[in-house]
Structure 1
Amino acid sequence: MISKLNSEEILSFLIIVSIILISSRLLGELCRRFKQPAVVGEIMAGIIIGPSLLGSAFPDLFKEIFTSHPRSFGAYDGLANIGVIMLMFLAGAEVDLKQIRAQGKQAASISFMGIAFPFALGFICIWFFHDYIFNVPSTDRLIPAMFFGTALSITALSVIVKILLDLDIIKTKVGGLVITASMIDDFLGWILFSIIIQMMNAKGEEASFYSIGMVLLFVGFMITIGKWMVNKILAFVDKQLGGPASILTAAICLCMLGAVCTEYLGIRGIFGAFMMGIACGDSKHFTHSIQNLFHHFIVSILAPLFFASVGLRVNFVTNFDLSVVLTILGIACIAKIVGAGIGSRIGGLSKNESLAIAFGMNARGSQEIVLGMAALQAGIIDERIFVGLVVMTMVTILVAGPLMKYYLEKELKEKKVPVTNEEDVVLMVESPEIAAVQKN
């Protein structure tokens, strides 16, 4: 017999959703006022109303709101999971395969070095210092080491787009390279993470190879036959039903089917949604106006529910370990800045342009939080490591924009071009010839 929420549980569910949505949106908008991504405020909202602050100061009130009706919180958790699935679909839709092919060579060197250095350093640190960082002796270090390397490798595409928009350099050479390299990072990072999850679920060496093959087979299918099938489905919907609402409905259904497929295969559903997003985003029928409509709904309503849940699940006060936080922050920043910086120099960019790109690529965001949450639920990491990843994400977001602006302005000064406003940065990066004319 199907059991449904009773009246009291429905009331509790509505109260939980209302409190979380209002607090996360308010703090998210506050961060926007200070030109920071809303995700920082949304996570902070969860920390404030979660066990870290409200739960510690007013435990009875926290229990009455969030834990007195477990099924109500379970319903909210289901809604938050829908939010993260939709968010990853949106992230996939932002991956422009045509742009990757167009800027492939230069962006590939930035992305490859920006992934290789953090992955290698993260892997080595966990492999040799696992017991110190995790505080738990273990002989099985392969999966935690691979996860740690992967978690430190991904650049947050949505965050870096916001930073580039704030600096007004999104249409410049530097902006284009950062976006393209971030797309490649996202794509490769989620493939790596899905392989890790499959290896964790598999038993034995043969099963691990089978699991890796399954992930790669799914990726290959989605960027070839799957992409073609999705385009045909959207074309049929556009012709027979028409209108943005029909295309949007079809895209959401495809998103859910992609998540169902990978969850059934033992891969995380968020990966299926991400790959389906890539396929839909490549279709001409999933237009920019429809993507924007989808983007506003997800970013404004569903995503805040998920990011606030990050603070609700973990006590950031009791699980805050300064040595772990500094270790993760140090490894993440050093490896990413060095790797992306070297990749930029190999691509023919100047020293200051390379540093600007490196600090842009160092910005983490929603993908790291999603990946960390999935790893926490899978038992790959503990709460201390998760808190360290969240802190690292927020710090790299906060410093990326100012440091990118600093090095681009420094490039202008070294070329003896007067910096009067941010448009000078755009001119210099977009066209050295224009900058030379401006100088004269």
Structure 2
Amino acid sequence: MVSKLNSPEVLHFLIIVSVVLISARILGEICRKFKQPVVVGEILAGIIIGPSLLGSVFPDLFKDIFLSEPRAYGAFDGLANLGVILLMFVAGIEVDLKQIRRQGKQAASISLMGIAFPFALGFTAIWFFHDYIFPVASTDRLIPSLFFGTALSITALSVIVKVLIDLNIIKTKVGGLVITAAMVDDFLGWILFSIIIKMMDPTKSDGSATSIAVVLAFALFMVTIGRWAIDKLLWLAKKYISGSGGMITVSCCLCFLGAVFTEYLGIRGVFGAFLMGIAVGDSKHFSDSTQNVLQQFVVYIISPLFFASVGLRVNFATHFDLTVVSIILGIACIAKIVGAGIGARASGLKKNESLAVAFGMNARGSQEIVLGMVALQVKIIDERIFVGLVVMTMVTILIAGPLMKYYLKLHLENSKEQNAEVDIPVSSRIVEFNDAVKPASV
């Protein structure tokens, strides 16, 4: 017989959820007021109410809230994991396959260089400095090296969208290229990470070849036949179930089924939810209004519980290692900025435009936190490295907007100076400027 939570455990569960959600939303709104991504405040909230601050200053209070009823915290942990699955589902919905196909050539240059260079540098750095980063003796260098290469190569689509909206350039040609390249980054990055998780499955004796085949086959199925089947299913839901509530129910059920399937395959459930989100978002029957309702619920209610739980799981004060943080931050920024910058130049953008794109692509976010959390759970990394990844994520988020704005301003000033020097006719300058900032094709 299943054991239910007793009354004190239910009480503590509600207290934990209330404390975490209130703290996360308050800090998130403070960050929003200062024009910073909300996710930064949500993570800071977890650090403040977690073992790093509250647990150190008021250990008895921290224990009474979070540790006195272990099963209550276990229930909260389950809710937080549900939140990250729904978050990755929503992230998948934002991936526009049509836009990727339309802007494929230019975006491919930015995305592939933005993935290849960080992956190569991250992999090489950990391969040769494995024993320095991982003080615990280990003969396995391949999995940690693959993880770091992947973690440093992914860009945060949701953060980039927020930055572009703040700068009012989301509908320009440059904004469209950055968003499309970030979509490709997300898709390829999650495939790579799922392959790594599959390779770690000790029950499989046939190694990485089968792992790669399983992940690629499932991803290919979901963006082809699976996408078509999901579209037909959503058509039936729209026809026979009234209101957006019914469509949200069906889409959430599909999200959980995708997560169940990939978890059963030995891949993490978040990957199945992400792929299912791509298929659902591609359907013409899944309306923008329905997506907005689902996104509001996930972003403002469920996902803050997950990001705040990041600070509850690890003591950032105890596990903060300046050397590890500096190495991770340095490699991540140099690799992504150089790689994406080269790709942007190769796609035809000018120098300052390319630097603006590079700093935009350098922004990390929810995907890196999710990857780090999964890697911590399956013991690819330890707490010090996880803290380094979280700090790297927050720093790259904070610098993305100001540096993009700076280099775009330089680009505009240089364009004006060049036009003035060669005395281009006014009509020609207007045409050139409109071409530079014209909205991406839709």
Q: Same fold (TM over 0.5)?
A: yes
1:45 maps to: 45
2:111 maps to: 111
1:424 maps to: none
1:432 maps to: 432
Mark the CA change 1:417 to 1:251 in structure 2 (over 3 Å): closer, same or farther. Answer: farther
The unaligned stretches of length 5 or more in structure 1 are: 419-428
Mark the CA change 1:80 to 1:430 in structure 2 (over 3 Å): closer, same or farther. Answer: farther
Mark the CA change 1:308 to 1:244 in structure 2 (over 3 Å): closer, same or farther. Answer: same
1:218 maps to: 218
Give the letter aligned to residue 359 of structure 2. F
1:207 maps to: 207
Q: Would you say 1:16 and 2:16 are equivalent positions?
A: yes
Q: Would you say 1:135 and 2:122 are equivalent positions?
A: no
1:421 maps to: none
Q: Is the 8 A contact 1:110 1:342 kept in 2?
A: yes
Give the letter aligned to residue 158 of structure 1. S
Mark the CA change 1:253 to 1:431 in structure 2 (over 3 Å): closer, same or farther. Answer: farther
Mark the CA change 1:431 to 1:389 in structure 2 (over 3 Å): closer, same or farther. Answer: farther
1:403 maps to: 403
Give the root-mean-square deviation of aligned CA atoms: 1.5
Distance in 1 (alpha carbons) for counterparts of 2:412 and 2:207: 55
> Greater shift after overlay, 237-246 or 199-208?
199-208
Q: Is the 8 A contact 1:360 1:400 kept in 2?
A: yes
Matches within 5 A, 1:144-223: 144-202=144-202, 206-223=206-223
Matches within 5 A, 1:273-288: 273-288=273-288
Mark the CA change 1:414 to 1:58 in structure 2 (over 3 Å): closer, same or farther. Answer: same
2:256 maps to: 256
Distance in 1 (alpha carbons) for counterparts of 2:111 and 2:431: 23
Mark the CA change 1:329 to 1:430 in structure 2 (over 3 Å): closer, same or farther. Answer: farther
Give the letter aligned to residue 79 of structure 2. L
2:391 maps to: 391
1:433 CA displacement: 3.6
Distance in 1 (alpha carbons) for counterparts of 2:19 and 2:100: 41
| Secondary structure, counterpart of 1:338 in structure 2 | helix
Give the letter aligned to residue 342 of structure 1. I
1:377 CA displacement: 0.2
Distance in 2 (alpha carbons) for counterparts of 1:344 and 1:430: 24
2:345 maps to: 345
1:379 CA displacement: 0.4
Distance in 1 (alpha carbons) for counterparts of 2:417 and 2:408: 11
Distance in 2 (alpha carbons) for counterparts of 1:153 and 1:187: 11
Give the letter aligned to residue 359 of structure 1. F
Distance in 2 (alpha carbons) for counterparts of 1:387 and 1:244: 40
Q: Is the 8 A contact 1:202 1:208 kept in 2?
A: no
Q: Is the 8 A contact 1:28 1:40 kept in 2?
A: yes
2:311 maps to: 311
Give the letter aligned to residue 134 of structure 1. F
Q: Is the 8 A contact 1:173 1:430 kept in 2?
A: no
1:371 maps to: 371
1:241 CA displacement: 1.5
Distance in 2 (alpha carbons) for counterparts of 1:209 and 1:69: 44
Q: Cα deviations across residues 12-59 of structure 1 (Å, max 9, x unaligned)?
A: 000000000000000000000011110000000000000000001111
| Secondary structure, counterpart of 1:152 in structure 2 | helix
Distance in 1 (alpha carbons) for counterparts of 2:32 and 2:287: 26
Distance in 2 (alpha carbons) for counterparts of 1:17 and 1:415: 53
Percent identity between the two aligned chains: 73
1:435 CA displacement: 8.6
Q: Cα deviations across residues 355-378 of structure 1 (Å, max 9, x unaligned)?
A: 000000000000000010000001
1:431 CA displacement: 6.5
Give the letter aligned to residue 308 of structure 1. A
1:241 maps to: 241
1:5 CA displacement: 0.5
Distance in 2 (alpha carbons) for counterparts of 1:151 and 1:435: 35
| Secondary structure, counterpart of 2:129 in structure 1 | helix
| Secondary structure, counterpart of 2:381 in structure 1 | coil
Mark the CA change 1:348 to 1:430 in structure 2 (over 3 Å): closer, same or farther. Answer: farther
Give the letter aligned to residue 156 of structure 1. A
Q: Is the 8 A contact 1:130 1:137 kept in 2?
A: no
2:300 maps to: 300
Distance in 1 (alpha carbons) for counterparts of 2:382 and 2:129: 15
Q: Is the 8 A contact 1:172 1:430 kept in 2?
A: no
TM-score by length of 1: 0.95
1:238 CA displacement: 0.4
Give the letter aligned to residue 190 of structure 1. W
